[in-house]
Structure formats: structure tokens, C-alpha cells
Structure 1
């Protein structure tokens, strides 16, 4: 597993990161023992970047990570934590709170749940329209000085917010969705990140499993938000999007690799193509899926391969938005001048 610095100011991280959300929330039933075994397998394979959020399972995910890291050297993991999303007792969403007093409260609870003295990368999950980004980042900068967090990241924000935040304190990375069928960052965001020396940690590289090669029209079950709330997983949209997957499968079969491996390798390849630092985050929930994802690190797509994929799945080919209308309206990254 290769490593490199995350952006111009961030920590040294593995070339692939592991996103932990699905081990606690939103994707249906979970298996605690398998989740911990998967984290262990990732660490043993050289994966250092572990991404969580204090609202994933309302603290469950952080406690799970604490258990998985017990007895291991703290420096073996680069822990990235998102904060600010508000939940209710039934698991619903109540808004965003990025006030300085609130983020300090969130951090106190995260440090306790994780059982650590500092968090490597701390980031607001979404922009709070009621709080200037300068206030949020300024408070986080104070926490860096205090040694409670090491680096400041952002999530799902656009170019203007990136510039304003970076003027207050260096931003290590922007966590944002990026995949063969979610390419909005190519219109201004990636260019701004490249200019400012900010890395991109790309989540949703398999579009929440949609382009993994394993999804079927009957897949979503009880407790899985994708079939209920994600437009790309519904009705005619789903049928169209799965037809795109079959185009990728034909190319993957010729290369002797899986659809998921092609999709992950495509995201990694865009870093070189766009002149940007892009680290794919894979959301594997089992050792089997993790092993498949790790195999993508050795998949090297040629210029001819990338051209064929661009023809098979051109920009804008997906049917349906990546979030429902309410959630899209909250994304600073989706706002265009």
C-alpha cells in the first residue's frame, strides 16, 4: 500500500481510505464482529485513513472504531471525523450546527467515544448557512493550537467556501462525492483544490454500491436508505443506471478485474488526469468486499481503457440526482455562480 501526503499541509495517508458509515447506519443490518474484522484487515493491509462521523449511528461508529483500534499503536490510524449533522432519537435528521460552541462540544464527545487525545482530521459534515465558515474554521484553528485536532478538513463545499476557509487556516482535504457517475467536482471544485493545495478524499466512488457490480433491482432492504430516499436507486432511474454498470462490466471482464475495481481505479486515475491529489474512500463492510476494493490499487487503466470508459459512461449519463431534492439544497458544493 503506497502512502503520500494529503494535500500540501495534511498528514501522510494510504492511497486508499476506508469509510466506516455503513458499519453503523443507513445501509441496513450490520455485523459488529465482521465490521471490526474488516477494520483490522484494512489496517493490516496498510490502510491508514479511517473515516467516520459522530452522527453515524449516533456515536455507534466512533465506539466501534475505538474497539477496533484497542491495543494498536495510535499512529497506525489517521482518524477523520465529521461533525455538525444533528439527529433525533428516531434516527431522523434535524439540521446542521457548526457554531464554535457546538463544535467544541461535539469534539469533546468524539474524543471520549474514540478514546484518543486528538483527532487527525476534523471537518464539518455540511456547511451551516447560519454560521460564517470563518467562524467555524477559526474555532477549529484554536483546537489545532491546543493539540486536540491535527488538521482541518471540509466536506461538500464549493470553491468560494474553500477559499474563505483556507484564508483562515490551511485546509488539508475536501471530502466530496466523486465517481464515474458523480462528476460535479470537475466544474470548478477540483481546480480550486489544485490551486490551493487541498487534497480530495472521494467518497461514493461506487455510488453507494450502485456501480459496484453487485447491486440488483431487488437489493435494497429494510433500513436501507438507498431504495427509499436516493433517486438513483428508484424505478426507471435504477434500471437505466444498472444498464450503465453492464457497459462497465463488459470492459472489466476484458481486463480480468471486477466492476468495483474498475470504478475505484477510475477515480484514482482522475487524480493524475486532473492534476489533483485524489484519495478514494471505499465503504467496504466486509472482508470480502475490502479485499476486492484493495485489489483496485494494482489496476492500472491505460489511456485506451479510460477512453472506452468515457464512451461507455459519459459525464452526465446517470439518471437521477445523487441526493433527494431536500438534501441537494443543503449542499454548498452544488451551488453554482
Structure 2
């Protein structure tokens, strides 16, 4: 199929890519095992469906995701927009790592990422999280130097506040801001999204189907022991049954509209972004081609006003925060999530 394009950022650092991308954290086993062979086959299926925006990070499987993408990209690198990230220290246990926005760390990590990806540049390089011990200006400056060196085409920021966006944008134009946004997670609508719309910065929504809970396939009883979601309050034993029941309202609405739940969740995001005036790309991740097909249904689905209003009411019913540490995400630092 032919996917609509979206332009993130403004000249001379704008990037035009597919409005639906692929979040490659799933290739590193965050939500369950997947073999390298199955991962490569999945990427071919994603490509066959017209998706050319690939998003990864150095810490996804400590390089596993980037390495798999590097294998897949051989001979076709020019057909894709590739984004990766640095700014979280790879050492330590997942969920307990620290931010690292020091210039030397960012310079070191881009070299490692380029090697794993098998390329001499990335299209979009994010500061994965602001470092509370390093002013954001001191992290963004070196990212701009990587653009000048030709190793990076443009820079992005992940989970930053509106104030941090403005400060960073004065040092070097920011092409994209990436944060969690979904029917369940809406704090970015207060400050972050109006700011990127004002400044002409693109927005990239990760976890747009709530780490799977906003799909028809979610099994509350089936989360494996090593599943990353167990670290998040939405999925804690005291919250999960309730939140699954809230998500069931979306599933029921989707069934009534004749669209998969995941597709409806994406359609709601695109409708909201258009209302706000933000240029949106979504980067859901999955290990299954059939799930990608369900997501694709939402790209051009026309969401009516009644269905939009019904989904609008769900976030207030959710129990728990979207992050294991509210200060780890923009909404926590903006006082929108309880500490």
C-alpha cells in the first residue's frame, strides 16, 4: 500500500518519511523472544507494506536491535529513514539505568551505532533522555556538531518538557521530539505538543497502542516473567485488571466500527495531531506481520466525532502512571504525573 508521508522539522533539517514507522525495540526481545531470522523476515514484511521509517536505540538489547537492522539494511540503506538514540547509560539493569548526556558519551555512542547499523550516517539522532546533571544545551551542542560532521542528518529529543525543547531549539534546530502518546497516555497534549506545533518540530509517538494493551491480542494473564511491561505501573498486579477493562471499551468500540483496536488507537492519534496542528509519525513495534496489518488500518481511517469523544474519556479512567519513574518522562517533570 502507499502510506501518507509526513515532514518532520523545517529546512534545512527537515525529514520526509512515512507517517507510520516501525519501532524496533521489539526486535531485541523486550516483549518476548524473536529469532534473528524471524526479525529479518518481519522487516521485509514491514518494507513490503510501504513502511520506510525505522526507529531504534543503542540500548535496545544493548545493540541487538541496531545489529539486526544493520543486517537488513545492506544494499537498501538509501530507501529508509533511520533513527537511533543515545543518552541512557547502557550499563546497569533495564529500568534502573541512568541518563548520560555528556558530550563524550554521545560522540562515543554514535560511532558504535553506525558500526552496528552498517552505515556512515543516521537520518535522525535523538538524545534519549535529558541528563539532570548536564544542561540540555551541553548535550544538544555536540549533536549539532555531528550534523556538521555528516554523521547525522538531523537531531531529535525524547521525553523532554516544553521548556527543554525551547532551550535546545535555540542551540540547534530540533527536527523531531519523541514521547509516549496514546489513548491512555495524554500528558504531552498539555505543553509538549503545542510547543512542537508552534516551533515547526515534528512529533514521533512511541507506544501508540499502550505497549499492547490497546490491541485485540492483549492477554493480561499471559505476560511472561521477563516481559518489560512488568516494570510499568499500568501492568502491575494492582492495576492491570482494571486497566484491561478500560482498554476493553476501546476494543468494543473498534469492533463496532469494523476496525482492529490497534488501528482505532492510531486513527485517534492522527485525528488529535491534526486538531493540534502537529506533524505526526507513529512508531509502533510488533513481532508479528498480522499485527502490523492491523496498525496499518488506522493510518487513513476516518474517525467520527462520537467515537473520538468516547476514546477521549478513557485516559481519566486509567490507574497508575505511564512510567516507572515520573521524573524519567516529560509529564512527570512538568508536574502532570503524580510523584
TM-score between both structures, scaled by the size of structure 2: 0.93
Confirm or deny: 8 A CA contact 2:326 2:333 kept in the other structure. Answer: no
Matched with 1:335 is 333
2:196 to 174, 182, 193: 193
Residue 318 (structure 2) aligns with: 318
CA displacement, residues 150-177 of structure 1 (integer Å, 9 cap, x when unaligned): 0000000001100000001110111000
Is 1:47 the counterpart of 2:47? The answer is no
> How many residue pairs end up in the alignment?
331
Provide structure 1 residue ranges, at least 5 long, that are not aligned to the other structure: none
Q: Which residue is equivalent to 1:71?
A: 75
Q: Cα distance, 1:118 vs. partner?
A: 0.4
CA distance in 2, matches of 1:199, 1:193: 7
Unaligned runs of 5+ in 2: none
Deviates more, 1:43-52 or 1:54-63: 43-52
Provide TM-score, normalisation by structure 1.
Answer: 0.94
Q: Provide the C-alpha distance between the structure 1 equivalents of 2:46 and 2:332, rounded to a whole number of angstroms.
A: 32
Structure 1 residue 71 displacement after superposition = 2.3
Match for residue 61 of structure 1 among 57, 62, 65 = 65
Equivalence for 1:301: 303
* Corresponding residue for residue 260 of structure 1: 262
Q: Identify the range of structure 1 (242-251 vs 139-148) with the bigger mean alpha-carbon deviation.
A: 242-251
Aligned to 2:149: 146
Are 1:104 and 2:76 matched, yes or no? no
* SS of alignment partner, residue 218 of structure 1: helix
1:276 aligns with 2:278: yes
Cα distance per residue 1:42-90 (max 9 Å; x no partner): 2222211100001111111110001111222x22111110112123376
Q: Which segment drifts farther, 140-149 or 283-292?
A: 283-292
- State the Cα distance separating 1:310 from its structure 2 match: 2.4
Q: Distance in 2 between matches of 1:297 and 1:201?
A: 14
Question: Does 1:115 find its partner at 2:113?
Answer: no
Given that residues 263 and 297 in structure 2 are in contact (C-alpha distance below 8 angstroms), is that contact kept between their aligned partners in structure 1? yes
Find the counterpart in structure 1 of residue 226 from structure 2.
223
1:124 paired residue number:
127
Distance, in Å, in 2 between the alignment partners of 1:94 and 1:181 is 25
Contact 2:162 2:195 in 1 (8 A): yes
Task: Say if 1:155 and 1:176, in contact at 8 Å, map to a contact too.
Answer: yes
* Cα distance in 2 for residues equivalent to 1:89 and 1:140: 24
Kindly state the Cα deviation for residue 40 of structure 1 after the two structures are TM-superposed.
1.4
Secondary structure of the residue that 1:85 maps to in structure 2?
coil
Deviations 1:201-223 (A, max 9, x none): 00011110111121122121032
Alpha-carbon distance between aligned partners in 2 of 1:308 and 1:93, rounded to the nearest angstrom: 36
Alpha-carbon distance in 1 for matches of 2:96, 2:246 = 32
Helix, strand or coil at the partner of 1:4: strand
Contact 2:71 2:118 in 1 (8 A): no
State the Cα distance separating 1:2 from its structure 2 match: 1.2
Of stretches 15-24 and 272-281 in structure 1, the one that deviates more from structure 2 is: 272-281
**Equivalent runs, 1:25-44 vs 2, <5 Å:** 25-44=29-48
Q: Does the Cα contact within 8 Å between 1:6 and 1:277 map onto a contact in 2? A: yes
TM-aligned CA deviation for residue 92 of structure 1: 6.6
**RMSD of equivalent CA atoms:** 1.6
Q: Cα distance 1:248–1:94, how it changes in 2: closer, same or farther (>3 A)?
A: closer
